[in-house]
Chains A and B, each alone.
Chain A
Amino acid sequence: MRTRSFDVAVIGSGPAGMAAAISASDEGSSVVIIDREGRSGGVLKQCVHDGFGLERFHKRLSGPWYAQIESDEVSRRPIEVHQDTFASRIEKTPSGFSIFCSSPRGFERIDCAALIMATGCRERTSKQIAIHGTRPAGIFNAGTAQNMVNIHGILPGRKAVILGSGDIGLIMARRLSLEGCQVIGVYEAKSEPSGLARNIHQCLDDYHIPLYLGTTVTRCIGIERLEAVEVAKTDSSMHPIAGTEQIVSCDTLVISVGLIAENELIKPLGVKMDKATSAPVTDQYSMTSINGLFCTGNCRVVFDLVDTVSKTSMICGRRASQIARKASAGPAVQVVSCTDLAFVCPQVIRMPAGKVQLHFRPKKVLRDYMLTASQDGKIIGQKYYSVLRPAQMEDIEISADESQAEIRLEGESR
Chain B
Amino acid sequence: MICISCPRGCELSVQGSSDNLIVTGNHCPKGREFAISETIRPQRFLTTTVSVAPGLGCQRLAVISRDPIDLDRLKDLSLSLKSFCIDHEIELGQEVLRLGDAVFLAASSLKKEKPDER
Hey, which bits of chain A sit against chain B, CB under 8 A? 38-39, 41, 45, 48-51, 54, 60-65, 67-69, 72, 84, 104, 149-153, 177-180, 196-198, 200-202, 206-207, 304-305, 392
Contact A54–B60 (Cβ < 8 Å) = no
CB contact under 8 A between A62 and B59, given known A49-B47, A198-B4, A198-B9 = no
Contacts of B6 in A (CB 8 A): 54
24 contacts between A and B (CB under 8 A): A39-B57, A39-B58, A48-B47, A48-B48, A49-B47, A50-B45, A54-B7, A60-B45, A62-B62, A64-B107, A65-B64, A65-B108, A150-B62, A151-B59, A153-B59, A153-B60, A177-B75, A178-B46, A178-B74, A178-B75, A179-B78, A196-B9, A198-B2, A202-B4
The answer, among B44, B49, B58, B75, for a CB contact under 8 Å with A202, is B44
CA distance A150 to B57 in the complex (A): 14
How many of chain B's residues touch chain A, expressed as a range?
Answer: 20 to 34
The answer, among B9, B62, B71, B79, for a CB contact under 8 Å with A197, is B9
CB contact under 8 A between A153 and B49, given known A62-B62, A67-B108, A197-B2 = yes
Q: Mark B1-33 against chain A: 1 for CB-CB distance below 8 A, else 0.
A: 111101101010000000000000000000000
B3 nearest CB across to chain A (Å): 7
Contacts of B59 in A (CB 8 A): 151-153
Contacts of A179 in B (CB 8 A): 48, 78-79
The 9 closest A-B pairs by CB, nearest first: A64-B62, A178-B78, A64-B108, A198-B9, A65-B107, A48-B62, A68-B108, A201-B2, A64-B107
Closest to A305 in B: B7
The reply on B40 being an interface residue by CB < 8 A is no
Closest to B60 in A: A153
Contacts of B93 in A (CB 8 A): 65
From B1, B45, B64, name the one whose CB has the most chain A CB atoms within 10 angstroms: B64
The reply on B114 being an interface residue by CB < 8 A is no
Contact A206–B118 (Cβ < 8 Å) = no
CA distance A178 to B92 in the complex (A): 23
From A41, A45, A60, A104, name the one whose CB has the most chain B CB atoms within 10 angstroms: A60
CA distance A50 to B6 in the complex (A): 11
Closest to A49 in B: B47
From B6, B51, B93, B108, name the one whose CB has the most chain A CB atoms within 10 angstroms: B108
Contacts of B60 in A (CB 8 A): 150-153
The reply on B109 being an interface residue by CB < 8 A is yes
Contacts of A206 in B (CB 8 A): 42, 44, 71, 74
Q: Mark B43-69 against chain A: 1 for CB-CB distance below 8 A, else 0.
A: 011111101000001111010100000
The answer, among B58, B64, B74, for a CB contact under 8 Å with A62, is B64
CA distance A305 to B7 in the complex (A): 8
Closest to B118 in A: A104
CA distance A304 to B58 in the complex (A): 27
CA distance A179 to B75 in the complex (A): 8
CB contact under 8 A between A65 and B4, given known A50-B64, A151-B60 = no
CA distance A179 to B78 in the complex (A): 7
CA distance A51 to B71 in the complex (A): 17
Q: A62-B64, A152-B60 are in contact. List 6 more A-B contacts (CB 8 A).
A: A50-B47, A50-B64, A54-B7, A60-B45, A198-B3, A206-B44
